[in-house]
Amino acid sequence: MIFARLEKLSNYVSATDFEKIRLFLDRISPSMEDGRYDIEGERIFAKVMSYDTKEVSDCKIEAHNMYIDIQATLKGSEGIDVFERDSVNEIVPYDDSEDVAFYSEENSRPIAHCVNVPGYFTMLYPSDAHRPQEKTGLDTNVKKFVIKICVDGFDMQYGESYFNLIFSGLNRTITTDSTGRSIDINDGIARWAEKADKISDYDHGIMCFCGNGASASMAEHMSHDWFQNAHINTLTCSEVSHITAISNDIGYDDVYSFRVRRVISDNDILVGISSSGNSQNIVNAVLAAKEKGAFVITLTGKGSDNNLRKLGDVNFYVPLSTYGEVESAHAILLHMALDYYLDKFLGGRH
């Protein structure tokens, strides 16, 4: 899913496709007739439609297999809830003649909520189940257009699209403090760096990293980089003997918190990395670090209601919907924090 200003659409489709789409965009207006508008036959076309928005309970969750949607309003506003497609329950099977299946949100929650107003668009991929037509409290009468781009044709521009998707997620990163108040991402990175400088020069503390799977790899990677390049003592609790012993003897949920309670103090920093934000062993490690008075950084993604993003002194939440996307964004955020520290306190990055 991508949400951006319409003037930025060229960043998210190929140059060739955008030139064709631009010809359609040049003639759109609130007075244009409802109906289908061909852009490139069955590969790219647009639909213009008018309707009144509804209460959420009256709106349907849908998803497509063959086409990517670019949805935007010409008049009025509508809300769109976006879900991970594999988290919702199919209630009307996929109809290939209409390229649509319908879903129920039972036991699922949206990963994002967009409000489309004139000048903005929401781009939805086949993995994005979505619920359009929601009332927003503004004008309930909507005129909108949906540009449909065939997935098969779009695959030729997959690399460019993927890079733009990760960039879009990074650009929409939500940074919060310990009270849940939103702060500027630059402020969040600065707070991390200033605390790191304090533990290096005055408190002689350590920076502890923890994560699972790919996040564990990033934890080890960043532990080494902060140790070698920033001259800060670090810890990961990632030794095979430690992980297997604690998992076997106590339980995997405590594989990090067991050592955190033993060695972390109020002189230290703990960095918890979890794509879902709901890994119990990372949540437990953060809670243990907070009990000891440590400064806590969290990096999460996927669902906006995840548990971990509420617990840190600085929390970075990336609103992307798959593990690979979130992990890619986290790697950039982690390197950005280190490079900021090197630039500000150690004369520049290597």
Residue-wise pLDDT tens digits, 47-96 = 999 999 999 999 999 999 999 999 999 999 999 999 999 899 999 999 99
What is the rounded average pLDDT of the residues 328-337? Answer: 98
Q: What is the maximal distance between C-alpha atoms in the chain?
A: 69
Domain co-membership, 244 together with 291: yes
The residue with tokens 């949920």 is: 253
Q: What is the CATH number of the domain that holds 283?
A: 3.40.50.10490
Cα separation, 240 vs 197, whole angstroms: 30
Q: What angle do CA 321, 325, 327 make, to 5 degrees?
A: 115
Give the domain range for residue 332.
Answer: 174-345
pLDDT 10s digits, 272-318: 999 999 999 999 999 999 999 999 999 999 988 999 999 999 999 99
Domain co-membership, 8 together with 109: yes
Q: What is the CATH number of the domain that holds 115?
A: 2.60.120.370
Domain co-membership, 35 together with 137: yes
Output the pLDDT for position 301: 95
Output the pLDDT for position 154: 65
Taking the CA atoms of residue 149, residue 151, residue 157 and residue 161 in that order, the dihedral angle to the nearest 10 degrees is: 80
pLDDT 10s digits, 129-143: 999 999 998 778 999
Tell me, yes or no, whether 350 lies in a domain: no
* β-sheet bridge partners, residue 49: 144
Residue type at 228 in one-letter notation: Q
What is the rounded average pLDDT of the residues 185-203? Answer: 92
Under 8 Å between Cβ of 342 and 335: no
Domain co-membership, 61 together with 160: yes
The count of domains in the chain is: 2
Output the pLDDT for position 321: 83
For residue 31, the Cα-to-chain-centroid distance in whole angstroms is 36
Output the pLDDT for position 162: 82
Please check the confidence at residue 204 and state whether its pLDDT lies above 90: no
Q: What percent of the chain has pLDDT over 90?
A: 81
The string of DSSP codes covering 79-96 is EEEEEEGGGSEEEEEEET
Cα separation, 335 vs 5, whole angstroms: 28
Please check the confidence at residue 158 and state whether its pLDDT lies above 80: no
Domain co-membership, 82 together with 213: no
Q: Is the pTM of this model over 0.75?
A: no
* β-sheet bridge partners, residue 128: 84
Domain co-membership, 141 together with 224: no
Output the pLDDT for position 155: 53
What is the rounded average pLDDT of the residues 4-17? Answer: 87
Domain co-membership, 17 together with 93: yes
CB atoms within 10 A of CB 87: 17
Domain co-membership, 291 together with 181: yes
Phi-psi region of 99 (alpha: psi -120 to 50; beta: other; left: phi over 0): left
The residue with tokens 């600085």 is: 314
Output the pLDDT for position 106: 86
pLDDT category at 346 given cuts 50, 70, 90 is: very high
Output the pLDDT for position 128: 93
Please check the confidence at residue 168 and state whether its pLDDT lies above 90: no
Domain co-membership, 52 together with 80: yes
Under 8 Å between Cβ of 69 and 146: yes
Output the pLDDT for position 25: 96
pLDDT 10s digits, 23-39: 999 999 999 999 999 99
Q: Would you state the structure tokens that stand for residue 327, as one six-digit string? A: 């992990």
Helical segments of the chain, H only: 15-25, 151-154, 158-171, 185-198, 214-229, 240-249, 257-263, 280-291, 323-345
For residue 321, the Cα-to-chain-centroid distance in whole angstroms is 6
Specify the higher pLDDT residue, 107 or 319: 319
DSSP conformation class of 96: T
Please check the confidence at residue 349 and state whether its pLDDT lies above 90: no
CA dihedral sign of residues 70, 113, 184, 222:
negative
- Mean pLDDT, the chain, rounded, equals 93
Domain co-membership, 201 together with 317: yes
Domain co-membership, 159 together with 192: no
Cα separation, 243 vs 239, whole angstroms: 6
Domain co-membership, 127 together with 208: no
pLDDT 10s digits, 211-262: 999 999 999 999 999 999 999 999 998 889 999 999 999 999 999 999 999 9
Residue after which a domain boundary falls, among 168, 190, 222: 168
